Structure 1
Amino acid sequence: MKIIIVDDDCLVAGALKTILEANPDIEVTATGSDGEEACSLYREYLPDILLMDIRMKGMDGLEASRKILGEFPEAKILLLTTFSDDEYIVKALRLGTKGYLLKQDHTSILPALQAVYSGQTVFGTEIISKIPELLQSSDGFDYASRNISERELDIIRLIANGYSNKEIATELFLSEGTVRNYLSSILDKLQLRDRTQVAVFYYQHK
């Protein structure tokens, strides 16, 4: 797993590099200190995951995420910050980043990277509890108008509750391949990019 670390505190970046490279499956290919560097390093190395701070001088992590995901829609970005700021959480979700963790919860960083690498979206426990409230809207949504079937709506709800494709398959007695096909159909019908945006869409239109 190839990782790029971007943090404006060089001591933090160095410590993360040392911790992560203790795992033989992880290679930190580069480190940077701001959003501009994150963009250029991502283009140069095309890492499996970009682990990036949010608050940085110049271009912050959210703006860098927006630019990188605009150029590389499949990019896996895991945001790491000391601030559990509601506005940041909402922006991170809407951008389509793969996770948002607090630096204080350092023991969760390696498992989070492994989960993101396998295709999951991860958020720290403190942050997960906030998501429904932050994203919920009073406006209802007519899913039938987008040709979303009842089965697809079941899958949307499970995605919004943090289920992986494997867990959805078990819950609905489907194969993982069938779940992936349903997810592709949902993304197309709702004009969304990934499962994170599906969850955001669901809570915004609940």
Structure 2
Amino acid sequence: MSPPLRIALADDQALVRAGLKALLESFGDLVVAIEAADGAELIAALKATPVDVVLSDIRMAGLAGPEAVRCLRRDGDGTPVILLTTFDDSTLLLEAVEAGAQGFLLKDAAPEDLHDAIVAVARGESLLQPVATDPVRARYAYRDQDAPKANFNEREIAILRLLAGGYSNKEIARSIFLAEGTVKNYVSDILDKLGTRDRTRAVLKAITLRVI
């Protein structure tokens, strides 16, 4: 049996932290190793206590979530980070991605979705909870000729849409009745066509270019 994933939990509200900790540890395969009231406390704790995933509120008194992620990345700490927010706001999603977070999730997500998101980013995947796409297009002004929609077949577009929904390769394979290895190859081809190295930026660029 695999050891539980170690989680760092950052939120400036003590009751929220307590509730999230109880929820996460109720799954049995997650353990909260760090609790922090803001980004600065989180960064200091991570230097002494390594974890598998950071789960942080995006807005906190003191050092907020995106700023904390930027500090971690500048220090060479690549621990996967999921940022949580109460607000369904595309600008917050962009801020999270640009800071270097691997995941973005609304606080009203189902407990199972939060658990699955943590497991997904721990194994190297990204998760973007679907949000409005117009602000994404406005921020990322890629040229249309960079990757016209005609370069993508129907299967690739379907997979891109599932990637945008935060689905893992295994979940995509189950949804469209393909082998997981085949989906992995499709994802690799999609990243090449979009000129990106990670799934999150591939989705953002695909939205901007109206591929999806």
Q: Which residue of 2 aligns with 1:101?
A: 106
CA contact under 8 A between 2:128 and 2:164: conserved in structure 1?
no
User: Residue 8 in 1 paired to residue 9 in 2?
Assistant: no
1:147-158 equivalences in 2 (<5 Å) = 150=153, 153-154=156-157, 155-158=159-162
Deviations 1:28-79 (A, max 9, x none): 1110111122223334333222110122223210111233345244x32222
* CA spacing shift, 1:57–1:167, aligned 2, 3 Å: closer
Percent of residue pairs bearing the same amino acid type: 34
Q: Which residue of 2 aligns with 1:121?
A: 127
Give the Cα–Cα distance (whole angstroms) in 2 for the partners of residues 67 and 191 of structure 1. Answer: 26
Deviations 1:132-151 (A, max 9, x none): 2331357524327xxx7658
What's the offset of the Cα at 1:195?
Answer: 1.3
1:51-200 equivalences in 2 (<5 Å) = 51-69=55-73, 71-73=76-78, 75-94=79-98, 95-102=100-107, 105=108, 108-118=110-120, 119=125, 121-123=127-129, 128=130, 130-137=131-138, 139-143=143-147, 150=153, 153-154=156-157, 155-160=159-164, 162-169=166-173, 174-187=178-191, 190=194, 192-200=196-204
RMSD across aligned positions (CA) = 3.1
CA contact under 8 A between 1:48 and 1:76: conserved in structure 2?
yes
Give the Cα–Cα distance (whole angstroms) in 2 for the partners of residues 38 and 151 of structure 1. Answer: 43
Unaligned runs of 5+ in 2: none
Deviations 1:174-202 (A, max 9, x none): 43223324434544665534212211111
Give the Cα–Cα distance (whole angstroms) in 2 for the partners of residues 50 and 86 of structure 1. Answer: 21
Deviations 1:113-165 (A, max 9, x none): 32331345152xxxx2x332331357524327xxx765895344542354432
Give the Cα–Cα distance (whole angstroms) in 1 for the partners of residues 162 and 38 of structure 2. Answer: 36
Using the size of structure 2 for normalisation, the TM-score is 0.72
CA contact under 8 A between 1:115 and 1:122: conserved in structure 2?
no
Give the Cα–Cα distance (whole angstroms) in 2 for the partners of residues 16 and 170 of structure 1. Answer: 30
Give the Cα–Cα distance (whole angstroms) in 2 for the partners of residues 158 and 28 of structure 1. Answer: 30
Unaligned runs of 5+ in 1: none
Using the size of structure 1 for normalisation, the TM-score is 0.74
Partner SS for 2:18: helix
* CA spacing shift, 1:44–1:111, aligned 2, 3 Å: farther
Q: Which residue of 2 aligns with 1:39?
A: 43
What's the offset of the Cα at 1:26?
Answer: 1.8
Give the Cα–Cα distance (whole angstroms) in 2 for the partners of residues 201 and 39 of structure 1. Answer: 30
CA contact under 8 A between 1:152 and 1:186: conserved in structure 2?
no
CA contact under 8 A between 2:102 and 2:126: conserved in structure 1?
no
* CA spacing shift, 1:8–1:143, aligned 2, 3 Å: same
CA contact under 8 A between 2:56 and 2:83: conserved in structure 1?
yes
Give the Cα–Cα distance (whole angstroms) in 1 for the partners of residues 177 and 113 of structure 2. Answer: 27
CA contact under 8 A between 2:8 and 2:32: conserved in structure 1?
yes
Give the Cα–Cα distance (whole angstroms) in 2 for the partners of residues 42 and 195 of structure 1. Answer: 26
